[in-house]
Chain A
Amino acid sequence: MSLLHLAIISPFLLAILVPILYKLLRKVHAGWFVLPLPMLLFIYFLSYIPRTSIQQTVIKSFAWIPTLGIDFTFKVDGLGLLFALLITGIGSLVVFYSIYYLSKDKEQLNTFYVYLLLFMGAMLGVVLSDNLIVLYTFWELTSFSSFLLIGYWYDREKSRYGAQKSMLITVFGGLSMLGGIILLYLMTGTFSISEIIQQSNEILTNPFFIPAMLCILLGAFTKSAQFPFHIWLPDAMEAPTPVSAYLHSATMVKAGIYLVARMSPIFAENGLWVWLVAGFGIVTLFWGAFSAVKQTDLKGILAYSTVSQLGMIMSLLGIGGAAFHFDSSNNSYFTVATVAAVFHLINHATFKGSLFMVAGIVDHETGTRDIRKLGGLMYFMPITFTIAIIGTFSMAGLPPFNGFLSKEMFFTAMVRVLEIGIFNLETWGVLFPIIAWVASIFTFVYSMLLVFKTFTGKFQSEKLAKKPHEAPIGMLIPPTILASLVIIIGFFPNLLSNTIIAPAVAAIMPNFKVDVHISFWHGFTTELFMTLGVIVIGILLYKALPKWRRVYRLFPEKFSLNRLYNSILDVSQRASRTMTNRYLTGFSRTYLLYLFAFFIIILATTLFVKDAFTVKTNNLSSIHLSEAILALVISIGAISIIFAKSRLTSIILLGAVGYTVSIFFVLFRAPDLALTQLVIETISVALFLLCFYHLPKFKKREERMRFRIANAVISVGVGAIVTMIAMSAHSNKLFDSIAQYYVDNTYEKAAGKNMVNVILVDFRGFDTMFEITVLAIAALGIFGMIKLRLEGGKKNENQ
């Protein structure tokens, strides 16, 4: 256990405390209890920068299940630290923002912060674990906390739908990732990521290599909302806005990106990895940007924009993977993609975080997020407007904001795809820069829509529920901090390059010497002209939007991925219900049939397989005539119960069987049993007769023939099996009886002469005590049933 472990566990510990504090101090907003933790953690993780910036990694291990190779090994390197800083940094701002966003009088704040802390701890665990099983555990925990947070307003149907959708898709991916992890383990014999990376050259040709890669990519793509799994992210926007800003934009959805980055040294040698990651990324980039333009909900635009930006980072990581094929000498030419990915990851967190907070402010102060109802808000909320301008311009890739820099690098990386010349990238690779450029145009358009439809234009007061005004200062501080970061990084990009970006890139590409230098001005390069093109065409498209909006109607709703998801869900629910109803009928008879059938099959198979059925006749005791008669009596008695027409007959016959059993006990040298059986049988018969008075008569021919035959077959089977077992049990004595122990010790140890009694009250006294407890419970139950009556319970009493 080290301080690092404590840091990762601390959110969970606080999650236990929050509900208590919430109950004790109702007057204080629960967020104030939470806020110090992410701030402290942020400072704590900052203290790692001096070490990671010189490529040092800190590894702390704590044994969990050492026999299976599962340990809490946490490793802080450049990549992990970058994410840890994002999680705690954005986390602090989001918690601060939520204190003003969520009312302490109306909301269940204790559960909200418990879920949020749960997420924070889980996410830290994901990005800092070196052990894949531990990583997987935390990974699923982020899915669960995301589910809980999306469904936070669980009385809304859409929240529940969105929560379920995100859960199904991400857990589906998570499980497939687990499969990939196990395949990796089979290949390498270890769950440690660093050790697997060391073996990466040896597993390249392993037949499990490709399946493992596909499984892990499925996990990463579902988590990071890559096409076609992106459909859960827009529905996840039902979560409170601080959650959207935190989980569904800055941190959790980047877990997939983290995974891809982390796994690059293992898989990127393979061309398929490059194609899949870059291909899915670039398609997602385009589809997200394209779909964002048709959205009318502010958070909807932001959701699709997040999908698109995640695709962009993903494609950069894929292209960056191609660099693994070149030796370290001329690599910096192609590593630009990875640098751009890491840089954009940071930039995206800053501008998208601030934009989500802006959307939350607009929603909070006007009561709607529909851009058709909004407009002209810049006069009411000038500060929010300024923040929104900075965020959207950065998102659109305009100078002088940080988004411009990373977008330029993105273009550079995409243009250089043409020069890579491996994995057939020289042929179809030409699509990358083209799609990238087209997608950037749409990105520009939706960015402009986002800010100008909301803040400029005509103010429509009649469509708004509230009279808008500027947000309280507490809600403005977090987005302002993020917006200032957007500008600071824009002007001083190299502030981060050696401290954060270079170590992170070094962690993704361990064998490369990476030199990160981000500059504002490259001269009149292709990238610059691409950006100019984006701006010009973007403005034209933005102005002409009403004319070409019809394009979106070309895609019929019927074929949308959401429809597909819904129908799959619907069909599987119906199929499972039909199936379950077929075997879970709710009739005790059906279940008894299963039990008996199972009983017969299992025991018969065992007797057959083990060859256990034996009948030995050499060790039998003699049969008296009286005993034979008794056996006949008991058999006839039992069989006649089946054919008994009246209740009274069957009860009397049952009594007869019981008394015969007690005579058998006498014959078999068991006087105590005989006595007990006699007493119990008498009481039982009395009880039966008492109830017999109240219960209805047997109905004649109440059961059909088929029903009877089925019953008969099963019962004959059970009878036969039990007979065989009784014979075999007598014939095979596998162990010596332990009876002699009691014979020897009954008097000496327990001072009694009746062995049976001594066993019951002394040697196995606890058994007897619990037996009495069972009787007491039964008595209480009977008492309760007779005394407590449901309403209207008298109606059949006198029938």
Chain B
Amino acid sequence: MEILMALVIGILFMCATYLMLSKSLLRIIVGTGLLSHGAHLLILTMGSLKRGAVPLLGENASSYTDPIPQALILTAIVISFGVTAFFLVLAYRAYQELGTDNMDKMRGNKGND
């Protein structure tokens, strides 16, 4: 399972990188979204997967899944949402002001080189 997840994470990172390198602002934002998904899964995979019970003491299990990655990811999900929201509104406003979402044209260049 871990190796499979490693491959999935790699694909997520790869797609995210490709999208972030493109010129359209919207694609860049989508790329950052994918990147955070990949990062979350990476953190989770670094601690082992599917070992023990859900980290709730009420389960009375003999062993529990590592709660620390989960706590980290929970924070990261919320932060990445904040960043995405900020980024989206920035793109929207930049488009309103500048009339383009192409990163090259935003600088006043012709772009598309």
Contact = CB atoms under 8 A, between A and B. Distances in A.
A642 B18 contact: yes
Nearest to B68: A739
A668 B44 contact: yes
Interface string B2-18: 11111111111111111
A157 interface: no
Contact of B56 (A665, A737, A754, A774): A754
Interface string A592-623: 11001000000000000000000101011111
B11 A756 contact: no
B24 A698 contact: yes
A489 to B, nearest CB: 67
Nearest to B57: A753
Interface residues of A, number: 105
Contacts of B45: 726, 729-730
Nearest to B78: A771
B78 A680 contact: yes
Contact of B46 (A623, A627, A729, A767): A729
B95 A719 contact: no
A477 interface: no
Interface string A724-745: 0111011000000111001100
Interface in B80-113: 81-86, 88-93, 95-104, 107, 112-113
A211 interface: no
Contacts of B74: 672-673, 676, 756, 760
Interface in A768-788: 768, 771, 774-775, 778-779, 781-782, 785-786
B96 A782 contact: no
A207 interface: no
Contacts of A651: 30
Contact of A667 (B9, B16, B28, B50): B50
A89 to B, nearest CB: 59
A362 B44 CA distance: 81
B70 A680 contact: no
A680 to B, nearest CB: 5
A771 to B, nearest CB: 5
A562 interface: no
Interface stretch (A429-437, A450-458, A653-661): A653-661
Nearest to B107: A586
A587 B1 contact: no
A799 B22 CA distance: 23
A619 B1 CA distance: 10
A671 interface: yes
A17 interface: no
Interface stretch (A105-113, A285-293, A683-691): A683-691
A210 interface: no
B7 to A, nearest CB: 6
Contacts of B5: 631, 726
A153 interface: no
A639 B14 CA distance: 9
Contact of B17 (A704, A715, A790): A715
Given A670-B70, A754-B56, A587 B77 contact: no
Nearest to B93: A785
Given A596-B17, A778-B86, A615 B3 contact: yes
Contacts of B70: 670, 672-673, 756
B33 to A, nearest CB: 5
A294 B109 CA distance: 53
A657 B30 CA distance: 11
Nearest to B58: A753
A621 B48 contact: yes
Interface string A672-706: 11001100100110011001101110110011100
Contact of B34 (A621, A638, A683, A738): A638
A739 B92 contact: no
Contacts of A658: 33, 37
A592 B75 contact: no
B103 A657 contact: no
Interface magnitude class on chain B: 35 or more
B42 A661 contact: no
A620 B5 CA distance: 11
B66 A620 contact: no
Contacts of A615: 3
Given A703-B22, A711-B22, A796-B99, A760 B91 contact: no
Among A623, A726, A754, residue most surrounded by chain B Cβ atoms (within 10 Å): A726
Contacts of A768: 75
Nearest to B73: A673
Interface in B48-72: 48-58, 64-68, 70-71
A522 interface: no
Given A593-B21, A691-B91, A726-B42, A641 B30 contact: yes
Contacts of B24: 698-699, 702
A715 B89 CA distance: 26
B35 to A, nearest CB: 10
A44 interface: no
A7 B94 CA distance: 58
Nearest to B2: A730
A593 B89 CA distance: 25
B76 to A, nearest CB: 9
A276 interface: no
A650 interface: yes
A467 interface: no
A471 interface: no
Contacts of B17: 596, 711, 714-715, 718-719
Contacts of B49: 621, 668
Contact of B95 (A671, A694, A711, A715): A694
A716 B14 CA distance: 5
Given A587-B104, A620-B2, A796-B97, A688 B77 contact: no
B56 A589 contact: no
Given A587-B104, A702-B112, A764-B71, A635 B8 contact: yes
B25 to A, nearest CB: 7
Contact of B71 (A623, A668, A760): A760
B2 A696 contact: no
A793 interface: yes
A727 B92 contact: no
A657 B40 contact: no
Given A759-B68, A760-B74, A631 B21 contact: no
Contact of A695 (B7, B91, B112): B91
Given A669-B55, A702-B24, A742-B67, A654 B30 contact: yes
A760 B8 CA distance: 28
B90 A676 contact: no
Contact of B57 (A638, A673, A703, A755): A755
Given A670-B65, A695-B26, A722-B38, A774 B88 contact: no
Given A650-B30, A729-B46, A782-B89, A634 B12 contact: yes
A795 interface: yes
A5 interface: no
B18 A739 contact: no
Contacts of A793: 96-97
A739 B66 contact: yes
A639 B67 CA distance: 31
A715 B96 contact: no
A666 to B, nearest CB: 10
B15 A715 contact: yes
Given A714-B21, A785-B89, 10 more contacts: A586-B107, A620-B1, A650-B30, A672-B70, A684-B33, A711-B21, A715-B13, A727-B3, A771-B75, A796-B99
Q: Sorted from nearest, which 9 A-B pairs have the closest CB atoms?
A: A719-B14, A723-B10, A726-B6, A715-B17, A755-B67, A715-B18, A778-B82, A759-B71, A753-B57
28 contacts: A588-B103, A589-B23, A596-B17, A596-B21, A617-B3, A620-B1, A628-B4, A650-B26, A654-B34, A661-B40, A661-B41, A668-B50, A670-B44, A676-B74, A684-B84, A684-B85, A687-B85, A688-B88, A695-B91, A714-B17, A719-B15, A722-B10, A726-B2, A739-B66, A755-B57, A756-B55, A756-B74, A778-B85
